[in-house]
Structure 1
Amino acid sequence: MKRSVLVVGEALIDAVRTPDGAEVHSIGGSPLNVAVGLSRLGSEVELLTHIGSDENGRTITAVLEAEGVTLSTSSTTDGATSVASATIAGDGQPRYRFEVAWDVKVPGAIIADAVHLGSYAAFLAPGDNAVREVAHAARDAGRLVTLDPNIRSALLPERSQVVLRFFELLKLTDVVKLSDEDAQYLFPAMSLNDVLDHLLSCGPRLAIVTRGSAGAEFRTADASVDRRAETAEVVDTIGAGDSFMSALIHKLLATPAPLDQTALEGLARHCVTAAAITVGRRGADPPTSHELDSALHLNEESHDHS
């Protein structure tokens, strides 16, 4: 049976300038990428977002339809669709500039099995209040709530306000994923080990910190996995964290609670493999279920023979 996920957050146009000077336009936004990734893995996905009634908005709508993602009916409004411009440096890392608008209407009853929140939509007024209301409703309904803050400090309010919003959402969250950059922004005086412990003490049952090419650490109250990244030839890193998140949510919904050490190791393997597939391709291009299963099988065989 397909499990259902409501993803809440931004959908926008990515204008990416590559090191050779070429400019490529595609749809993006971390929550949109997570929604597409979940759909490709076989989840039933609805995206609650904010797009304009312009050509960019119509482009996003068409792509979501092609990817099998349902667009919430209140997501389209008058006005312009948000645009993020990224310049790819020689090391493959993107540098961002944003022209954004964010507001959203709170849905009625939360019927999805899981609700995913995050990125600037969780922090940018006026829509941040609606995101918090959705988190409360999902929590009250007993749904799985996941959070990826995906901090982009240049776009956000002052840091103290972002940290306050983060902790308001954290206490409503079952699963939280930070990048090492997110952790540095939110907890500048803490080691990553202490960050994981602190996150768990605030309510989530699973906390994760990703470290790019150094892999990721997964921690619950009873288990911990420090998983190295899978070897990959990096084209760029756009969308890698979102593919990681899609694989995380999809696998979690198929994994009985509580998460023991073996289950956590399997979860980690899924996530880092999905991310490795994505960094080997240009842009935010998450794997299909078949691609992920094939890569997991190949990696398992190579580990068995190493």
Structure 2
Amino acid sequence: MPLSQVAVLGECVADAFVAENPGHGELTLRVLPGGGPANTAVGLARLGTPTRFLGRISGDAFGALSRRRLDDSGADLTGCVAAAETSTLAVATVGDDGRAAYSFHSEGAADWQWSADELTLGRLGEAACLHSGSLALVRAPGAAHIEDLLAAAAPRLTVSIDPNVRAALVDPAVYRARMPRWCALADVVRLSDDDLAHIHPGEGIGQVCDTWHAAGVRLVVVTRGPEGAVVSVDGERAEVPAPRARVVDTVGAGDSFTAGLLHRLHAEGALGGRLDALDLAQAVRAATFAARVAALTCSVAGADPPWAADLTEDDLPARGPESPARS
């Protein structure tokens, strides 16, 4: 396996899951570490990819929880900033279908306060790939500095973006306006069909993929939950089926898919440039592996990606093939 790292830049979020206790007139919150980029970094590190996480981690109790999880998973935290601001808190309610709805408490939080001085190329270390996205890429004042770093890094390493649209917090028009710029910078874009519907409502997957390829991105992967994923390389497309798994919830499944995708591309030596040699077959292999990683994440509560040892040929059937997983 290549020794160079995959760098992941973005937020840590404390996910507070609601449990009602109507007999006592109260709510109980179970807090787990999350945040799309942090989840992806954890997933990559657990799979065995050398991973460098770049985050502004608060010194509060939620920040300490996130730091422990990243460190215990094997992520390199030397590029992180010890932030004075508070952590972002997301209160999540999980529906009967396992999907979570969030309300965010994030104003002035540590995750969005990146400065130009903090985001230099030196912070990337020996990374072959830089992945970012989610709220960190759209929340001021840090978002502009993250985009500047992506632009500075793009000529020498692979850039990956997951928009991870949070329509309740950020107007989808913001993502729509920025996607052409992101696609010009990125080599990989991974997003869900829900994200795509927010950004380009009423447009088909193939049409949007072709628009984004024309803007510059080589590989687009659209995950569609139980319908699997669509993989598009320069307009040549294939579908990858979703493995069957016992679905507890879908929290972090898309982030785990991204981790699996980048892990497999890294293991095959594809990362480190503009993916000039990537073909559809290689992209499909990576997405197929990523779908297995996402399915395992769905089979446990919260954003808890699998370790490399969990990924055996018999693992998914053993977890229970009751329903298809959603990435």
In structure 1, the partner of 2:169 is: 155
Question: Secondary structure of the residue that 1:70 maps to in structure 2?
Answer: coil
Give 1:280's aligned amino acid: S
Hey, what's the Cα distance between the residues in 1 that align with 2:31 and 2:183? 33
Cα deviation, residue 296, structure 1: 7.6
In structure 1, the partner of 2:120 is: 107
Q: Does 1:290 align with 2:286?
A: no
Q: Does 1:130 align with 2:145?
A: yes
In structure 1, the partner of 2:50 is: 44
Cα deviation, residue 74, structure 1: 4.8
Q: What's the CA shift string for 1:175-234, capped at 9, x where partnerless?
A: 001211111111113111211222211111111111011100001126422011001111
Hey, what's the Cα distance between the residues in 2 that align with 1:164 and 1:225? 27
Structure 2-normalised TM-score? 0.85
In structure 2, the partner of 1:268 is: 287
Hey, what's the Cα distance between the residues in 2 that align with 1:186 and 1:64? 31
Which stretch shows the higher mean deviation, 86-95 or 236-245? 86-95
Hey, what's the Cα distance between the residues in 2 that align with 1:297 and 1:23? 30
Cα deviation, residue 261, structure 1: 3.7
Tell me if structure 1 keeps the 8 A contact 2:232–2:280. Answer: no
Cα deviation, residue 164, structure 1: 2.1
In structure 1, the partner of 2:157 is: 143
Q: What's the CA shift string for 1:245-284, capped at 9, x where partnerless?
A: 0010111122345233432331121011111111111111
Cα deviation, residue 131, structure 1: 1.1
Q: Does 1:225 align with 2:238?
A: yes
Hey, what's the Cα distance between the residues in 2 that align with 1:68 and 1:107? 23
Query: Gaps spanning 5+ residues in structure 1: where?
Result: none
- Out of 34, 47, 60, which is 2:66 matched to? 60
In structure 2, the partner of 1:210 is: 223
Give 2:65's aligned amino acid: T
Q: Which has the higher contact order (CA 8 A, sep 6+)?
A: 2
Q: How does 1:172-251 map to 2 (within 5 A)?
A: 172-221=185-234, 223-251=236-264
Give 1:191's aligned amino acid: G
Hey, what's the Cα distance between the residues in 1 that align with 2:80 and 2:49? 21
Hey, what's the Cα distance between the residues in 2 that align with 1:36 and 1:164? 30
Give 1:123's aligned amino acid: V
Hey, what's the Cα distance between the residues in 2 that align with 1:86 and 1:229? 25
In structure 2, the partner of 1:89 is: 95
Tell me if structure 2 keeps the 8 A contact 1:231–1:276. Answer: yes
Tell me if structure 2 keeps the 8 A contact 1:225–1:268. Answer: no
Cα deviation, residue 50, structure 1: 2.1
Hey, what's the Cα distance between the residues in 2 that align with 1:33 and 1:91? 21
Hey, what's the Cα distance between the residues in 1 that align with 2:140 and 2:197? 23
Structure 1-normalised TM-score? 0.90
Hey, what's the Cα distance between the residues in 2 that align with 1:120 and 1:189? 24
Question: Secondary structure of the residue that 1:166 maps to in structure 2?
Answer: helix
Give 2:304's aligned amino acid: D
Give 1:139's aligned amino acid: A
- Out of 107, 110, 132, which is 1:117 matched to? 132
Give 1:103's aligned amino acid: Q
Hey, what's the Cα distance between the residues in 1 that align with 2:280 and 2:174? 36
Cα deviation, residue 139, structure 1: 0.5
Hey, what's the Cα distance between the residues in 1 that align with 2:72 and 2:137? 26
How many equivalent pairs are there?
298
In structure 1, the partner of 2:267 is: 254
Tell me if structure 2 keeps the 8 A contact 1:14–1:25. Answer: yes
Give 2:113's aligned amino acid: D
**Aligned-residue CA RMSD in angstroms?**
2.2
Hey, what's the Cα distance between the residues in 1 that align with 2:310 and 2:201? 37
Q: What's the CA shift string for 1:131-159, capped at 9, x where partnerless?
A: 1012012103x201101000001122x33
Hey, what's the Cα distance between the residues in 1 that align with 2:67 and 2:281? 40
Give 1:190's aligned amino acid: E
Hey, what's the Cα distance between the residues in 2 that align with 1:65 and 1:91? 32
Hey, what's the Cα distance between the residues in 1 that align with 2:263 and 2:176? 28
Cα deviation, residue 77, structure 1: 1.3
Tell me if structure 2 keeps the 8 A contact 1:4–1:43. Answer: yes
Query: Gaps spanning 5+ residues in structure 2: where?
Result: 22-26, 322-327
